[in-house]
Amino acid sequence: MATRTRRSQRRTQALSRERIVEAAVELLDAAGESGLTFRALTERLATGPGAVYWHVANKDELLGAATEGVVAAALAADPTEPAGSPQDGIRAVALGLAGAIEEHPWLATQLAVQLSRNPWGTVTARIFESIGRQVRALGVPESSWFTATSALLHYILGAAGQNAVNAGVPGPGTDREEFLGAVSTAWKELDPDDYPFTRAVADQMREHDDREQFLAGIDFVLTGITTLHPPAGRPGTPPASRETGTP
């Protein structure tokens, strides 16, 4: 969509790093990871590869910039909700990321790649900061800030990464139900000796709701954090649970 300057038409907008990254995101959204090539990119930008290389070091940097741009947009979103509990704040960050992955399915893989390649880069820092502020608001003692925030970060990224593809399907959920049904059936046909547990939860797997699962996991981590590292200032304060933290 948007203003698409097709080939043969001379470029009207000056080339810039931002414009290049924007085009890269569009290509990724439209055709997935394999859709981003320098040939497709230069055609869309009506230029040559040398021009792109003037603004961007290589394809890895381009993918990193695309990832960071999309993550930054996802975390900067919704100034609608003013405050709410810290627990809700963390859920909002997590759901914001999950939403970004739903809009840009390539983000799941790319987030993982960026993370394992550059574990403490700018992408991580952005997410870390968003979660950390809520951890601080939670009253976690300062000495546990890094530990608690890291745990939340890891859970969110792990869960978001896996739930990406099933969420990517359109429609009201028919495709998704079919998919989960197929997996569930496959699980029931696993070797009873090797996979007794997986077979036993095949039905739960079919019926599960991604979003609910995602939030349940966050509640586990939050409960663990507030139980093992209760607020220091107010000694009598009980650990906050899902029930008390949600409106």
| CA 73/CA 63 separation, integer angstroms | 16
| CA 193/CA 177 separation, integer angstroms | 28
| CA 143/CA 220 separation, integer angstroms | 21
- What single string gives the DSSP state of each residue in 159-189? HHHHTHHHHH--SSSHHHHHHHHHHHHHHHT
Q: Which is nearer to DNA, 27 or 159 (CB)?
A: 27
Decide if residue 204 touches its own copies (CB under 8 A).
yes
**Shortest distance (Å) from residue 150 CB to its own copies:** 6
Decide if residue 220 touches DNA (CB under 7 A).
no
> Of the candidates 48, 173, 224, 238, which one interacts with its own copies according to CB under 8 A?
224
Helix (H, G, I), strand (E, B) or coil at 230: coil
Decide if residue 39 touches DNA (CB under 7 A).
yes
Decide if residue 85 touches its own copies (CB under 8 A).
no
Helical axes 210-228 vs 86-103, angle rounded to 10°? 150
The interface partner of residue 169, options being its own copies, DNA, none and the CB cut-off 5 to 8 Å by kind, is none
Helix (H, G, I), strand (E, B) or coil at 141: coil
Q: Under rule CB under 8 A, how many of the chain's residues touch its own copies? A: 67
Closest CA to 97 of 81, 110, 83, 85: 110
Q: Which is nearer to its own copies, 38 or 155 (CB)?
A: 155
> Of the candidates 5, 15, 88, 128, which one interacts with DNA according to CB under 7 A?
15
Decide if residue 135 touches DNA (CB under 7 A).
no
* H helices, E strands: number in the chain: 14, 0
| CA 97/CA 72 separation, integer angstroms | 10
> Of the candidates 165, 174, 178, 232, which one interacts with its own copies according to CB under 8 A?
165
| CA 138/CA 221 separation, integer angstroms | 13
Give me the sign of the Cα torsion angle 129, 134, 135, 140. positive
> Of the candidates 112, 169, 176, 230, which one interacts with its own copies according to CB under 8 A?
112
Q: Which is nearer to its own copies, 19 or 176 (CB)?
A: 176
The interface partner of residue 137, options being DNA, its own copies, none and the CB cut-off 5 to 8 Å by kind, is none
Residue listed under structure tokens 């933290």: 245
Q: Which is nearer to its own copies, 11 or 117 (CB)?
A: 117
Interacting residues with DNA (CB under 7 A):
11, 14-15, 36-40, 46-51, 53-55, 58-60
Interacting residues with its own copies (CB under 8 A):
108-109, 112-113, 115-120, 124-125, 128-129, 132-133, 135-136, 142-143, 145-151, 153-159, 161-166, 183, 187, 190, 194-198, 200-201, 204-205, 208, 213, 216-217, 219-225, 227-228, 241-242
